[in-house]
Amino acid sequence: MEAFSFAQIPIDRSRPLQPQLHSALLSRINEGLLPAGTRLPSSRRLADELGVSRNTVLIVIDQLKAEGYLESRPGSGVAVKSELPAGKVARVQWQSQEHLPPLSRVGQQWSNYEAISHEQCLPFTVGVPDLKAFPDATWLRLQRRHQERMPLRGFQEDQGYQPLRESLTHYLKTSRGVICDADQIIITQGAQQALALCALVLLDEEDTVMLEEPGYRGARDAFKSRNAHFYAVGLGDNGIDVTALPQSPPGRLLYTTPTHQYPLGGILPAADRLRLLDWAARHRLWVIEDDYDSEFHFHAKPIAALQGMAEQTPVLYMGSFSKTLYPALRLGYLVVPKPLVPTLVAAKRALGGETPLLTQAVVADFIAEGHFIRHLRRMRQLYQCKWDHLRALVEDQLKGLATPVARSAGMHLALMIDCQSDVELASEFRGAGFGSTPLSWYYASGKGRSGLVLGFANTSEAEREEGISVLRDLIPRC
């Protein structure tokens, strides 16, 4: 074997030298490039060859000796030890879970999980607002205001930045009819963290959760973290079918999207809301109300939140800034009955603790100074135009191929499509440069209606035209 040349070890002088030399020698020993018994050049020569100080070399050699990789040999300098520390001889390239120590039961379930790809926001990717319409100038001005504030660089409150909770209290009361004070709000890392916290605090392993079918996959994912079973409640014309709520509920939690059923739309009428709340109170159940996009209704004024109507039922109300501002902010909120706050905050601490303070401070002012309401108003008009355009295109070009679900509106359009595999259809559409979600993915059972859900908020006119024309070609072949 050719003698190893130490001079070839690359050293980046802009980074700390000792850790580089340590990891370079260690990986070469582990990879067998410096086999047991190999003698190292003298420290002086090594330092010359590598272009580092002799002191650096001596420190690294001492460390590798202490770790059991090198040894001093009387009269012949330093050499690679003949017996290396157990398990360090060759780095194993783990190819599958099989050879690793066992995972938890939840981990095992997730290791077979079919991931949703979020590689990029393509036109029609679901859940993405119009990213170009974001009021950057205002945002940057507010951000500059808070950027250098030292209190925002440390820790404050796991529950969330007080001024943001105050701003939200006012907004939620006036816009959504949510009755709460700032002490009841917990700021979360998106609605997804709110769901994860509820799963952790309200469910035991293998409990059953009642939820709408079709419904939000992110909620199912959160509940799966407790290995939950699902009891699917079907939909009526306007959201969850309250006549299908079980007389003997199989669990203690119902997840619902009453203000705008996800993904098919529909606003649950007031009488049905009262019936649902009464049913939940009678059976002592928790209700999670996900108010994910109530801000974007075009044809009907959104009804006030279930939370505000609930007198006897413990409703956990959640919302998100993902659609009203943008998803990468990762900001959401949970409004809960007061006695539950300390428990949920403790769970939040365990799951990551504080939400970034600078973002919270900016959003607090953004709401308090009226920018949020103005932005929502603009977006509502913009999305309505996009929606009208998309509906017209679908009616004109996909007649007989796809049935649009008119009430889905908001930021997406659900299309019912008879096809062999909507997953395949979505993948071909993706191949043409367009995002979408197969409708079947919204069914917990995996056996639902087939179709595509198209997020239109982040599309341009030309993209909508091209996308629908691509679908006109793809659907007959699917």
Ligand X SMILES: Cc1ncc(COP(=O)(O)O)c(C=O)c1O
Beta carbon nearer to ligand X, 21 or 409: 409
Beta carbon nearer to ligand X, 127 or 438: 127
Site for ligand X in 390-449 (CB under 6 A): none
Closest CA to 239 of 217, 269, 219: 269
Least distance (Å) from ligand X to the CB of residue 127? 3
Beta carbon nearer to ligand X, 327 or 356: 327
Q: Select the residue interacting with ligand X from 169, 192, 256, 459 (CB under 6 A).
A: 192
Q: Select the residue interacting with ligand X from 56, 261, 307, 322 (CB under 6 A).
A: 322
Q: Select the residue interacting with ligand X from 184, 259, 320, 324 (CB under 6 A).
A: 320
Question: What CA–CA distance (Å, rounded) separates 345 from 188?
Answer: 10
Residue 324 touching ligand X (CB under 6 A): no
**Which window, 186-194, 230-238, 296-304, 309-317, contacts ligand X (CB under 6 A)?**
186-194
**Which window, 59-67, 147-155, 187-195, 384-392, contacts ligand X (CB under 6 A)?**
187-195
Residue 258 touching ligand X (CB under 6 A): no
Residue 360 touching ligand X (CB under 6 A): no
Residue 216 touching ligand X (CB under 6 A): yes
Q: Select the residue interacting with ligand X from 239, 251, 332, 404 (CB under 6 A).
A: 332
Residue 239 touching ligand X (CB under 6 A): no
Residue 191 touching ligand X (CB under 6 A): yes
Beta carbon nearer to ligand X, 258 or 467: 258
The residue type at 320: S
What is the three-state SS of 259-307?
Answer: CCCCCCCCCCCHHHHHHHHHHHHHCCCEEEEECCCCCCCCCCCCCCCHH
CA distances 300 to 190, 237, 403, 407, Å, are: 26, 15, 21, 10
Least distance (Å) from ligand X to the CB of residue 377? 21
Confirm if 477 and 429 have CB atoms less than 8 A apart. Answer: no
Beta carbon nearer to ligand X, 455 or 474: 455
Beta carbon nearer to ligand X, 257 or 436: 257
Residue 127 touching ligand X (CB under 6 A): yes
Question: Which single residue brings its beta carbon nearest to ligand X?
Answer: 190
**Which window, 18-26, 140-148, 188-196, 308-316, contacts ligand X (CB under 6 A)?**
188-196
Q: Which distant-in-sequence residues (6+ apart) come within 8 Å of 410 by Cβ?
A: 260, 265, 293, 296, 297, 383
Least distance (Å) from ligand X to the CB of residue 330? 7
Confirm if 6 and 41 have CB atoms less than 8 A apart. Answer: yes
Residue 261 touching ligand X (CB under 6 A): no
Residue 262 touching ligand X (CB under 6 A): yes
Beta carbon nearer to ligand X, 215 or 404: 215
Residue 266 touching ligand X (CB under 6 A): no
Residue 359 touching ligand X (CB under 6 A): no
Interior angle at CA 213, CA 425 and CA 127, nearest 5: 55
Q: Which distant-in-sequence residues (6+ apart) come within 8 Å of 398 by Cβ?
A: 404, 415, 468, 471, 472, 475
Token pair belonging to 327: 């998803």
Token pair belonging to 249: 């509920």
Residue 257 touching ligand X (CB under 6 A): yes
**Which window, 22-30, 107-115, 320-328, 349-357, contacts ligand X (CB under 6 A)?**
320-328
Residue 292 touching ligand X (CB under 6 A): yes
Least distance (Å) from ligand X to the CB of residue 244? 20
Q: Which distant-in-sequence residues (6+ apart) come within 8 Å of 43 by Cβ?
A: 54, 57, 58, 61, 78
**Which window, 48-56, 88-96, 319-327, 367-375, contacts ligand X (CB under 6 A)?**
319-327
Q: Which residues make up the interface to ligand X (CB under 6 A)?
A: 127, 190-192, 216, 218, 257, 262, 290, 292, 320, 322, 327, 332
